[in-house]
Amino acid sequence: MYVTEFEPLQRLVKITVAGDAIAEEVIAGRESLREVLRDVQPGFRLLADLSALVSMPTSVAPHLGEIMELCAEKGVALVVRLLPPEPSKDIGLAIISQFHYPPEVPIITCATMEEAMRLLEEKK
């Protein structure tokens, strides 16, 4: 499952990826994000919730990079992400992020949704 949402009052783009993500879902999600970002002004915040991700093939990595580049090009100001709790499900987001987000964009990984929401509230 791949879902993209935008909360205009909070200037928050939310991407949720859960279950067994496949390339087709991520590609469709990238196009959905492209549509969502059309009306988003620079300075928005991004919440990437992958906490319920079960698996994602490494072939998806280039598409994740494209998603990050779309956000960077549109002017993302802050990236907050939730990763799966099991280290074995790490899909290399930290490494991919270094190549696709500008160095001035803070990227913060949180352990819980509560922590992420608290951080986003503080960084309005």
Task: State mean pLDDT over 57-77.
Answer: 94
Non-local CB neighbours of 95 within 8 Å, separated by 6+ positions: none
29 token code pair: 């999600």
Q: Say what the pLDDT of residue 27 is.
A: 95
**pLDDT-based confidence at 88, cuts 50/70/90?**
low
Residue 123 lies in a domain: no
User: How long a stretch of residues is the chain?
Assistant: 124
Asked if residue 122 is part of any domain, the answer here is no
With beta carbons less than 8 A apart as the criterion, state whether 42 and 8 touch: no
19 belongs to a structural domain = yes
Q: What is the CATH number of the domain that holds 86?
A: 3.30.750.24
Entry pTM: 0.92
Residue 96's pLDDT is 85
Q: Give a yes or no: residue 121 inside a domain.
A: no
| Domain total in the chain | 1
Reported as a single tens digit per residue, the pLDDT across 14-43 is: 999 999 999 999 999 999 999 999 999 999
Domain that holds residue 89: 2-116
pLDDT above 70 (res 86): yes
